[in-house]
């Protein structure tokens, strides 16, 4: 028997429904902020990710699904969505056209990591990217959007924010940090010794205890920002507070991708073990330029769908049920329920069973398949122009009139 590859999962039955429910919730929110759907290829030139995510990142260094295709091209399954959207933005000359563009996307990402709870090799993200808007109000908007999505999904998280400075203040801060860390170089882990040369700020979020001990009195980015970055960071906090969003400032939050500047943030959950980040993002004003486009400010985030699914699965109360299951107890009534199903399908997801069997058997099927509403026609109900109704979420059940079915549902 051939099985799915390690770290890759099928999305079937309830998982499929849950996935769709999450995507629909995200879409409903981001569309209200003017974000439009886009899709980019899952396979791209390897150079795209090396130049954007960064040579020093774990993703590029260790985790890429990279190979030479039959035409001799060095290609790679996308480990994240931002680089591809930026490539498409530049390739379609939107960078030269000016103005603001807002996109959302969802789909598979691939990282060759060690699979564990909340960490897969093929996983799905829902993401947004905004191009051409340098105002910190947009940074706040993308965070508010994500916050609204998590609220609608009834997921409790902690928002952590930081500022990574810009090309003026960050180099000076890096120098300061390297000087500080070099005094204790002998206690750094191997990864951080490498980071000292490639991207020293990644040392800040190293999980190793010996590295964290060294960093206790390290200089903080937030105390080394220039005026512009500092003002923006303060404004961001002010907008979040004004909109009732709680947050923590985490000066060690640097994110695992090299393209960020200024705003960086993550939403963390306590419900999914060590892989606790459910979503993350930030500003990346230099990425367009790095990829040979016209300088274009940009900001965005991505959410890990499987991590959200895991949290929702732990919550019994979450109504992820959808659609109507309709059935009959007697073969003579199939024509009747067929007629009803055709009417319902104009507005609702409706599944019909053509087989007359016991109400309990039907009910079990409808329940297992995750339907919200169960409709069952028996001779007695039919003779009175009614049908049996049960809401499988609320457990509410009653007879309702067939003539006024839509009103009653």
Which residues sit in the known binding site?
A: 80-82, 111, 125, 129, 255, 259-260
- The 3-state DSSP class for residue 261 equals strand
Decide if 68 contacts 46 (C-beta within 8 A).
no
Minimum distance of ligand HAM from residue 167's CB (angstroms) = 18
Q: What are phi and psi of 86, to 5 degrees?
A: -65, -45
Closer Cβ to ligand HAM, 89 or 284, answer by number: 284
Least distance CB 86 / ligand HAM (angstroms): 9
C-alpha to C-alpha distance for 187 and 209, rounded to whole angstroms: 10
Q: How far is the CB of 123 from ligand HAM (least distance, A)?
A: 4
Tell me the two tokens of residue 209.
């205890």
Q: In sequence order, what E strands does 225-359 have?
A: 248-249, 261-268, 277-283, 298-304, 324-328, 350-352
The answer to whether residue 280 forms part of the interface with ligand HAM (CB under 6 A) is: yes
Q: Based on CB atoms, which residue is closest to ligand HAM, 86 or 387? A: 86
Q: Which of 54, 81, 132, 165 binds ligand HAM (CB under 6 A)?
A: 81
Tokens coding 358: 């016991």
Task: Give me the residue label for tokens 């000292």.
Answer: 196
277 binds ligand HAM (CB under 6 A): yes
Q: Does 84 bind ligand HAM (CB under 6 A)?
A: no
Q: Is 97 exposed, middle or buried (0-12, 13-18, 19+ CB in 10 A)?
A: exposed
**CB-based contacts of 77, cutoff 8 Å, min separation 6:** 42, 43, 64, 65, 110
Structure-block tokens of residue 142: 């993308």
List C-alpha distances in Å: 44 to 47, 57, 77.
8, 18, 7
Q: Are 43 and 78 in contact (CB under 8 A)?
A: yes
With contacts defined by CB under 6 A, name the span among 44-52, 122-130, 161-169, 387-395 that binds ligand HAM.
122-130
* Smallest separation (angstroms) from ligand HAM to the CB of 82: 4
Of the pair 54, 300, the CB lying nearest ligand HAM is at 300
Residue 237 CA, distance from chain mean position: 23
Nearer to ligand HAM, 229 or 376 (CB): 229
Binding track, positions 290-329, relative to ligand HAM; x by CB under 6 A = ----------xxx-x-xx----------------------
Cβ proximity to ligand HAM, 195 vs 321, nearer residue: 195
Residues 124-153 that bind ligand HAM (CB under 6 A): 125, 127, 129
Give the per-residue contact string, 100-119, with ligand HAM (x = CB under 6 A; - = no).
-----------x-x----xx
Can you read off the two tokens belonging to residue 106? Answer: 């969802």
The contact set with ligand HAM (CB under 6 A) reads 80-82, 111, 113, 118-120, 123, 125, 127, 129, 256-257, 277-282, 284, 300-302, 304, 306-307
């Amino acid at each position: 028997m051939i099985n799915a590859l390690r770290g890759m999962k099928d999305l079937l039955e309830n998982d499929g429904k849950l996935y769709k429910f999450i995507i629909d919730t995200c879409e409903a929110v981001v569309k209200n902020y003017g974000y439009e759907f886009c899709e980019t290829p899952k396979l791209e030139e390897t150079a795209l990710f090396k130049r954007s995510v960064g040579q020093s990142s774990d993703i590029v260094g260790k985790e890429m699904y990279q190979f030479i295709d039959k035409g001799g091209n060095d290609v790679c399954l996308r480990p994240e969505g931002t680089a591809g959207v930026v490539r498409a933005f530049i390739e379609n000359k939107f960078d030269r056209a000016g103005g603001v563009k807002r996109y959302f996307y969802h789909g598979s990402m691939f990282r060759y990591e060690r699979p564990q709870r909340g960490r897969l090799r093929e996983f799905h993200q829902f993401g947004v990217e905004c191009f051409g808007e340098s105002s910190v109000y947009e940074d706040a908007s993308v965070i508010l959007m994500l916050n609204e999505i998590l609220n609608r999904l009834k997921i409790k998280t902690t928002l952590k924010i930081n500022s990574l400075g810009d090309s003026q203040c960050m180099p000076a801060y890096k120098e300061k940090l390297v000087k500080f860390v070099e005094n204790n170089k002998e206690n750094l882990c191997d990864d951080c010794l490498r980071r000292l040369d490639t991207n020293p700020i990644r040392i800040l979020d190293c999980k190793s205890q010996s590295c964290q001990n060294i960093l206790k009195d390290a200089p903080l980015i937030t105390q080394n920002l220039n005026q512009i970055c500092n003002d923006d960071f303060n404004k961001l906090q002010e907008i979040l507070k004004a909109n009732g969003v709680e947050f923590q400032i985490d000066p060690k939050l640097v994110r695992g991708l090299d393209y960020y500047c200024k705003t960086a943030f993550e939403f963390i959950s306590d419900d999914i073990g060590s892989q606790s980040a459910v979503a993350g993002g930030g500003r990346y004003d230099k990425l367009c330029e790095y990829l040979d486009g016209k300088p274009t400010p940009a900001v965005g985030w991505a959410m890990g769908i499987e991590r959200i699914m895991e949290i929702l699965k732990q919550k019994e109360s979450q109504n992820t049920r959808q659609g109507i299951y309709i059935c009959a107890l007697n073969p003579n009534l199939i024509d009747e329920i067929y007629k009803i199903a055709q009417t319902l399908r104009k507005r609702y997801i409706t599944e019909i069973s053509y087989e007359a069997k016991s109400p309990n058997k039907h009910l079990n099927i409808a329940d297992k398949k995750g339907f919200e509403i169960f409709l069952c026609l028996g001779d007695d109900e039919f003779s009175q122009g009614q049908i049996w109704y049960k809401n499988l979420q609320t457990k509410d059940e009653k007879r309702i009139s067939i003539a006024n079915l839509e009103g009653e549902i």
